[in-house]
Structure 1
């Protein structure tokens, strides 16, 4: 046994946990980070993965890895990832149950920790008499919005006209009607039914883990406790314990850091719309010309699949390249945590995914927020209205609004105020991770909670 093994607490080191991440980048990263956190606390970790989007976990010899079939056809794998979620939930029931039963026959399992979107796993856990803890990889505020969808539908908000999108949601401040989570699907009823299953499965779980910290979402955590009546552990941000780079599904282009090294402090706007968002060519041009007209240096992540039907940079107009060749840099994928912590970065044009939002707060980088679907609507509203650490593009990706927002953030008075706000929030975040801090204490409570699930092996 190494020194680390000798120093961990006796009551937890003999407990075995099984973790089951959803196979999307924004879900794999926090689950792998959580696995590392809990392993560091002395737990034995087994991770069950599906074949789809299976990451390379060769860097984790300290985990036991099991891979199960997902039942997806080749044509299904090539479709939009969000559309695969109900199929994965339906087709992984048997393989997950069998894999878990096999593990259980070898050694006892203290509990399973699954992504909340794997709602079917609650029934499997009940059948095998194993406690299930849910990891929700979004903000608490957006999860509460999901839980409120039946109420909002009954109140008529989901059927409001386009002209009413800026009306307030009285039952859920600070949201406006346009901020209610939507999923760009042809079957919104099916999407709402799916979310209802996720919420119901979460309510039946033994406990909840959130990648957030108390000082960021204290009112929302209190509201969650009232509604779900479950032990809840806000132990984030996870990436402050362990980096996500080793679980990346894409090769990270480190030349982005070399380019940033040549730029002036706080001069560059970083642009990334996450791992699964898609836009059409018209919106791409709006982003391109918004960046061009802002006259600010930029680093833009242009990943494969960002634009529907196109995988190449040639889709960008020649005039864009001519105008920005000396102050713009484009890569297919970047080491985002390293980028955001670089002194040259002064702002982040983001899709408002939760991992990106947290990483930006951690580095004190103010945001310009757009959104595409799901929790991103809620996150961007909170960034703009509640935390006041960014600017929400109220009309979406339009070149004039992008230009104005970039200039406000990078060189305007409003940008200075936003920067002060986010640096203050960054300080609170750092304090939460120190001994006696809220996340530090919550993690200790989680360790004790998991260890209470039965006699050690």
Structure 2
């Protein structure tokens, strides 16, 4: 392992992309203490993800700020998030290249490898230019990665027929998938949005990558794993990270609202846990429908709901829930909650990190997808892995949500779903054992990342 290795890490500073990338880098840095890691993201993103760390606690990782592309005094229009993404994309790659030079001067060592969010396809060209490996990290499931890699084939297939109700037969492991379950960026013209353009270019560049890395495990989708291994130089599943974090004895996340002590008072596998991540809140009518369903089912629930969304709850619902084993928090220590035996089902937006956490601790899911890969994820949860349900019609209604909760918690078919997720959890546990597939893949990744390029 060379002390001259200097790894540049490029983050995509939106949604839940940056934290999983930092988790990966911290694992690599701990395994290669003599290697320097420079972590590049926007100042806002860095201040958030490094907020719990002091600068001198980062060891061989150093954070650098890159421009977010937002002009001084800029006033955002209607969709601030999409506009911010577009401005950031427009600023790449110059914003990264500029700061890389600063990091090389600080370290006294040239960059020897690029580890980047897979979205940042320009890193492929940069890595070729400076003669170093490019390791893109895909932060979602192998199924959505496959969909993006087959973008041209999918577009050709749907161009000649009606899109509605059409199913795909061309992607190994995704036969029978409905077109409408695909991420919108796969279906839209690549010039329609900066993100669609970025993802299309990413799909063209990934086969050139030295290795493509996922926070997943090979055994979750064997057919997709085999196919992607044939399309990419190296396809390395190195997760699930929740199981690795649990095994690493990291200090537990805070529990200021005492979720765990509340769970201790509930029966085994009885609690409905509800969370839609850090970005999403369901529409007001769906919040009402979900609340009414919980009240009708008379089940204990733990609901992570932002303060601004509570105003949409039915009048008096919070007080009635508090008296009938319902608990509201603005934030929950999700991994610790899902790990608790009292949780019987997880109601979720179906983001990949949430799915992995649910699988890691054997909790069935009820899915209400919103955007991106979430529709495809929910289809895999219900029909691929058979570890949960998508709510009827893809939105919360009172009757549909009641049916889903009762199906999971009370029916014989629900018991089969619980068994399926238990089996998948065991496969995940096997993958992270000392000779498991994810452990072997991670060792291979360390060798690639720390090998100095030929000068």
Q: Report the TM-score, using the length of structure 2 for normalisation.
A: 0.87
When residues 108 and 213 of structure 1 are mapped into structure 2, their CA distance, relative to the original with a 3 A threshold, is same
The equivalent residue for 1:111 is: 113
The equivalent residue for 1:230 is: 233
Offset, 1:384: 1.0
The equivalent residue for 1:301 is: 304
The equivalent residue for 2:17 is: 27
Picking from 37, 43, 49, the partner of 2:41 is: 49
Offset, 1:247: 13
Offset, 1:66: 1.0
User: How far apart in 2 are the matches of 1:78 and 1:240?
Assistant: 39
- The secondary structure found in structure 2 opposite 1:395 is helix
User: How far apart in 2 are the matches of 1:175 and 1:101?
Assistant: 45
2:222 is the alignment partner of 1:218: yes
Offset, 1:132: 1.6
What aligned pairs does 1:182-261 form with structure 2 within 5 A after superposition?
Answer: 182=184, 189-190=192-193, 191-227=195-231, 229-242=232-245, 253-261=256-264
2:402 is the alignment partner of 1:406: no
Q: How many residue pairs end up in the alignment?
A: 435
Picking from 328, 345, 352, the partner of 2:326 is: 328
When residues 156 and 283 of structure 1 are mapped into structure 2, their CA distance, relative to the original with a 3 A threshold, is same
The equivalent residue for 2:340 is: 342
Bigger relative contact order (CA 8 A; separation at least 6): 1
Offset, 1:442: 0.7
User: How far apart in 2 are the matches of 1:156 and 1:192?
Assistant: 17
Offset, 1:99: 1.2
Decide whether the 8 Å contact of 2:151 with 2:186 is kept in 1. no
Offset, 1:81: 2.7
- The secondary structure found in structure 1 opposite 2:422 is helix
Q: Which runs of 5+ in 2 are unaligned?
A: none
User: How far apart in 2 are the matches of 1:388 and 1:157?
Assistant: 31
The equivalent residue for 2:313 is: 316
What aligned pairs does 1:296-445 form with structure 2 within 5 A after superposition?
Answer: 296-303=299-306, 311-321=308-318, 323-325=320-322, 326-397=324-395, 398-445=397-444
User: How far apart in 1 are the matches of 2:250 and 2:12?
Assistant: 17
Offset, 1:96: 0.7
The equivalent residue for 1:61 is: 58
User: How far apart in 2 are the matches of 1:225 and 1:147?
Assistant: 12
The equivalent residue for 1:454 is: 453
Offset, 1:282: 1.9
Offset, 1:83: 4.5
User: How far apart in 1 are the matches of 2:390 and 2:156?
Assistant: 28
Decide whether the 8 Å contact of 2:5 with 2:112 is kept in 1. yes
The equivalent residue for 2:294 is: 291
Offset, 1:187: 8.3
When residues 247 and 68 of structure 1 are mapped into structure 2, their CA distance, relative to the original with a 3 A threshold, is farther
- The secondary structure found in structure 1 opposite 2:389 is strand
User: How far apart in 2 are the matches of 1:284 and 1:12?
Assistant: 54
The equivalent residue for 1:145 is: 147
- The secondary structure found in structure 2 opposite 1:70 is coil
Q: Report the TM-score, using the length of structure 1 for normalisation.
A: 0.86
User: How far apart in 1 are the matches of 2:189 and 2:314?
Assistant: 35
Report the RMSD for the aligned CA atoms in angstroms. 3.0
When residues 129 and 156 of structure 1 are mapped into structure 2, their CA distance, relative to the original with a 3 A threshold, is same
User: How far apart in 1 are the matches of 2:418 and 2:274?
Assistant: 18
User: How far apart in 1 are the matches of 2:420 and 2:226?
Assistant: 23
Residues 337-396 of structure 1, C-alpha deviation per residue, up to 9 Å, x if partnerless?
111001211110111110000110000001111211111111111111121111122411
Offset, 1:208: 0.6
What aligned pairs does 1:74-89 form with structure 2 within 5 A after superposition?
Answer: 75-76=75-76, 79-89=79-89
Q: What stretches of structure 1 move > 6 A for 4+ residues in a row?
A: 183-188, 243-248
Decide whether the 8 Å contact of 1:348 with 1:365 is kept in 2. yes
Residues 108-141 of structure 1, C-alpha deviation per residue, up to 9 Å, x if partnerless?
3221111011223333333333322100001111
- The secondary structure found in structure 1 opposite 2:287 is helix
User: How far apart in 2 are the matches of 1:25 and 1:343?
Assistant: 29
Offset, 1:253: 4.5
When residues 13 and 211 of structure 1 are mapped into structure 2, their CA distance, relative to the original with a 3 A threshold, is farther
When residues 303 and 21 of structure 1 are mapped into structure 2, their CA distance, relative to the original with a 3 A threshold, is farther
When residues 241 and 109 of structure 1 are mapped into structure 2, their CA distance, relative to the original with a 3 A threshold, is farther
User: How far apart in 2 are the matches of 1:434 and 1:184?
Assistant: 35
Residues 410-433 of structure 1, C-alpha deviation per residue, up to 9 Å, x if partnerless?
122111111111111111111111
2:95 is the alignment partner of 1:95: yes
Residues 266-301 of structure 1, C-alpha deviation per residue, up to 9 Å, x if partnerless?
111111112223432222222222322222111111
2:182 is the alignment partner of 1:180: yes
Moved more, 395-404 or 21-30: 21-30
